[in-house]
Amino acid sequence: MSPERTVLIALGSNLGESIVLIHSAFQELQRLSATSLRQSSLWQTTPVDCPPDSPSFVNAAVALVPLPHETPESLLHKLQALEKEFGRKPKVMLNEPRPLDLDLIAFGNEMRNTPELILPHPRAHLRRFVLQPLSEVAPEFVLPGQIRTIRQLLEGLPVEDSTAISRISNNDTHRSPSRPSQP
């Protein structure tokens, strides 16, 4: 994947059967890629900036090549529609538990700063739960506006970072079942 054609998406879930939901989301995201999807391992992480007593997250990342004529905005709309299909409801409070969260981290070298979309994602370079899975699918990618690779950004995070993170499954084990029915 060439950097100018690489799209990076972070996945998260902390409501429902998170592992099953992430595996199913991988299948759906494959339909948005012109080539084979690169999938990270699944990672369990402590919630960051979430309401008290929020459940742990299952996080992952994918790298894909967008379909012809896809724009960051058109892809964002598809990601938001996919979140709704997986049971995401309109926000009541910031960072509340959700069955599926899909964040568009980067769309090649594109940069945006609109009310609808900021690219690259404004906090991705600071978050272990984003960088750890991204380092598996695009370790040498440099986010627009940064000078260090994703691997270097991850290595540069402070040791005292309070995000607890542990691998749940390796990226070669992602053979997901069909999408579950939603409650």
Q: What does the angle CA 156 – CA 125 – CA 78 come to, to the nearest 5 degrees?
A: 150
Q: What is the pLDDT of residues 9-20, one digit of tens each?
A: 999 999 999 999
Q: Which domains does the chain have, with CATH numbers?
A: 3-173 (3.30.70.560)
pLDDT at 162: 61
Least confident range of 26-35, 58-67, 133-142, 159-168? 159-168
Which residue type does 83 have?
A: E
Confidence category of residue 175, pLDDT binned at 50, 70, 90: very low
**Does the model's pTM come out above 0.85?**
yes
- Residues marked as catalytic: 88, 98, 101, 103
pLDDT at 54: 84
Strands (E), 19-173: 38-39, 42-45, 57-64, 101-107, 112-113, 118-119, 165-169
Beta carbons of 43 and 135 less than 8 angstroms apart: no
Q: To the nearest whole number, what is the mean pLDDT of the chain?
A: 89
